[in-house]
Amino acid sequence: MGACAVRSIPATQRRAPALDIAVVGGGMVGAAAALALSRAGFSTALLEARPPSPWQPEDDVDLRVVGLAPSSIRLLDELDVWTSIRDARACPYAHMCVWDAQNGAAIDFNAADDGRDQLGYIAENNLVQWTLWQALEAAGVQRLCPATVKDFETRADRVALALADDESVTVRLLVAADGATSPLRERAGITTRGRDYTQRAVVAHVSTERPHAHTCWQRFLPTGPLALLPLADGRSSIVWSLPEQEAQRVLSLDDEAFRAELGIASDFRLGRITGATRRAAFPLKLQLANTYHAERFVLLGDAAHVVHPLAGQGVNLGLRDVAELRDTLVAARDAGSDIGLPSVLRRYARRRRSEDTLDAYGFDALARIYAWQGPPWVAARGLGVRIVDRLLPLKRRLAAHAAGF
């Protein structure tokens, strides 16, 4: 099941669009999109340059993890993959504690306040992607892999894709889920805006003196936020946002020095750091596509938006894109419309771009506010956080928005 081979499209089918939809990019969002669209009755192909690495339960936990919000879990459940992900190695969390290193102000979210058992789950990127990938064939998705799109040409009723192996595919709609540097977005002439945070997120898994208590812990430091996320094996995954040079220094520390500095940075909330895996880091930026669609072409996931990881919402926004696109295309088809019409794609783009932009700039504003270190700003920030923590209706609205409700 791990290998994937190109399925040739018979020449007789190429006289008309061979497929309804081609999704380019087989990451979590792209694979979910292909699966959702195929399950909704659209003939769909997923094009990916490299298959995902097989997930094995005996392997160590993937360094990249995602916090799955209830909206994402609902979509994965609709796609019949959530139970497999949950039972394999996903950790529920029922609490979230966020506090400011400068003034001690804290805000706590508790699933029980909203009558829920969990706020979400922490799962490995590789596990989610592999489970989705395994479900594609049974759902009728044509997995074209390895496959690279050299170019595409939009015509009145179709998009013709030229692949690197001289194969070609024609579709009614092209969906780009090919990442933050999306070559397809560039070829479509869609520009982006945003800013480089000149920071890196250092990631690792750590063992701690005290249990994580199924809680997500996040401390805002002058250098950036530090998150400790609960893992199913009892360890915690860290996401430590640091300026470039500081991130390089932290990456170069020996194990003992790293554990000592991390313990101080986390305020020893879980006691001493008793063990740590290898470390990795990735750059942080804010990037938003100036439009989410072109002629018979739409963007999904990181190809459309990249946000600061402080709220852990990047993949959740992408999966909300998937659900919105599926629902929009199903409604158009049921109304007898061509799914590639500009009016259909505008409807999807308008809904998702407005929500993604609001969230992206909200996260950006939080990052800026917590970067202000002047005493008046620190005091005002602490007062604001304490007020929000006491206003249960506002906290519930914030929690519901993060959950995707």
Average pLDDT taken over every residue of the chain: 90
Count of residues for the chain? 405
Q: What is the pLDDT of residue 365?
A: 79
* DSSP letters spanning 156-201: SS-EEEEETTS-EEEEEEEEE---TT-HHHHHTT--EEEEEEEEEE
In a domain, 27, yes or no: yes
Residues of the chain where predicted confidence (pLDDT) is lower than 70: 1-17, 311, 381-383, 385, 388-389, 391-405
Give the Cα separation of 338 and 329 in Å (integer). Answer: 9
- Total structural domains in the chain? 1
- Which range of residues forms the domain containing residue 329? 11-58+128-193+288-367
In a domain, 355, yes or no: yes
In a domain, 38, yes or no: yes
Give the Cα separation of 29 and 321 in Å (integer). Answer: 9
In a domain, 140, yes or no: yes
Residues with Cβ within 8 Å of 369's Cβ and at least 6 positions away in sequence, in order, are 377, 381
Strand partners of residue 199? 243, 284
| Side-chain half-sphere exposure of 290, counting CA atoms within 13 A | 7
Q: What is the pLDDT of residue 261?
A: 97
In a domain, 84, yes or no: no
CA dist 134 to 32, 79, 142, Å?
11, 12, 12
Nearest 5°: phi and psi at 233? -90, 10
Q: What is the pLDDT of residue 127?
A: 97
Q: What is the pLDDT of residue 368?
A: 76
Q: What is the pLDDT of residue 6?
A: 36
- What is the separation, in whole angstroms, between the first and last Cα of the chain? 35
Q: Which of 45, 82, 72, 77 is nearest to 174 (CA)?
A: 45
pTM of the predicted protein model:
0.91
Q: What is the CATH number of the domain that holds 48?
A: 3.50.50.60
Q: What is the pLDDT of residue 341?
A: 96
Question: Going by DSSP bridges, is the β-strand pair 120-124/192-208 parallel, antiparallel, or unpaired?
Answer: unpaired
In a domain, 116, yes or no: no
Burial class (CB in 10 A: 0-12, 13-18, 19+), 6: middle
Q: Which of 385, 400, 403 is nearest to 97 (CA)?
A: 385
In a domain, 354, yes or no: yes
> From edge to edge, which strands make up the β-sheet containing 120-124?
65-68, 120-124, 91-93
Q: What is the pLDDT of residue 212?
A: 97
In a domain, 375, yes or no: no
Helix (H) or strand (E) holding 300: none
Per-position b or e across 238-271, b if 16+ CB within 10 A of its CB: bbbbbeeebbeebbeeeeeebbeebbebbeebbe
pLDDT above 70 covers what percent of the chain? 90
Give the Cα separation of 273 and 353 in Å (integer). Answer: 41
